[in-house]
Structure 1
């Protein structure tokens, strides 16, 4: 029962325990977030979008590496956006970050806004993967790169909390990316983690 409740909360934390869920996610995602940020190879001038900011930990890490660039983020949970806004107040005041309530399927940013887009552990919750990839493609600059980090499907299936998640193999994601006109698709592996990169 608890595992299923937690799975629903991971999709979109809300209610009095949202703060605890955010802390749980931040701890559990720390290693894959750090690995993904390494792969991003952040440049000081870049505009980078995170889909699914959670409490804003990864966004803060990226903003630290920016000078003229900007770290932007969206999350579908009002509770998470509130937490992220509190956490990123200083870097937002410096003009290095921007946060909005939003969904992968309807990204509230202009065409060709970002050099890089990344997302860690959110594709399981997208209601329409093709529409989400279409939106990501739209907001990316030409030659921009997408980074999608996940746990492998077989690993995720072992947990009761992922019962209602939409799980994908790296091959399934690669196929979706190809159908959405992405190119130079590469699979990076680390233990049970997988990051799939693709260029517009």
Structure 2
């Protein structure tokens, strides 16, 4: 049982192989409300440059691109499988040079300072190896006045999932605010919601989640 849970935890962090395809589909479905909230709270304007960290299959890209005119999007992934799947799913956006997808190491963002107006990430904070250093790296690539949105499920929900004991760091909103307070970000805002999602048994359970918006 523990081996199965460890494998699931590893797949949720970095999907790969045939099981990774199933995990990618599942995450695309179950995380959509969280992704849409994170996008909504970016308050996108015409000509914004957007970076997403850990986009999965990126089934939400059309929703994002319809938020304003002349947006540019760049997605970064540690999973080669999700990188390929996102490119397949969004081939038209890539062809139109509206979107670009790249692989990275999960720590160092391969862009110059002040590159993006908006950055967002959904359900990745559990896996950050060095949260303070990573937040500082995100701050570096944001322009002045830019927004970072961190969207995550609350610790109370996540700790009920048996696989989160393997490689997940769980957070209350206060924990994330405390991290951000140690960085140069000037202020934060919190937007919280609840949703009903199916568990592995097909039962509907309530998930509480938040988007914390960090302003440069």
* Alignment partner of 1:190 is 2:193: yes
- Separation in 2 of the partners of 1:133 and 1:83? 27
SS in 2 for 1:40: coil
Deviation at 1:104, TM superposition (A): 4.0
TM-score (norm 2): 0.88
Q: Please list, as runs of the form range in 1=range in 2, the aligned pairs for 1:66-81 lying within 5 A after superposition.
A: 66-81=68-83
| Aligned partners of 2:41 and 2:213 also within 8 Å | no
- Separation in 2 of the partners of 1:190 and 1:171? 16
Greater shift, 67-76 or 147-156, is seen at: 67-76
- Separation in 2 of the partners of 1:163 and 1:118? 25
RMSD: 1.4
Determine the structure 2 residue equivalent to 1:6: 8
* Alignment partner of 1:142 is 2:144: yes
The superposition leaves residues 18-75 of structure 1 with CA deviations (integer Å, 9 ceiling, x where unpaired) of 2111001111101111222222222231111110010011233212334322011101
Q: Please list, as runs of the form range in 1=range in 2, the aligned pairs for 1:1-200 lying within 5 A after superposition.
A: 1=1, 2-164=4-166, 165-191=168-194, 192-200=208-216
- Separation in 2 of the partners of 1:9 and 1:170? 25
SS in 2 for 1:65: coil
Greater shift, 130-139 or 101-110, is seen at: 101-110
- Separation in 2 of the partners of 1:11 and 1:160? 15
| Aligned partners of 2:37 and 2:211 also within 8 Å | no
Structure 1 unmatched ranges of 5 or more = none
TM-score (norm 1): 0.94
- Separation in 2 of the partners of 1:103 and 1:119? 15
Change (3 A) 1:129 1:113: same
The superposition leaves residues 146-170 of structure 1 with CA deviations (integer Å, 9 ceiling, x where unpaired) of 1000011111000012112111111
Deviation at 1:3, TM superposition (A): 3.6
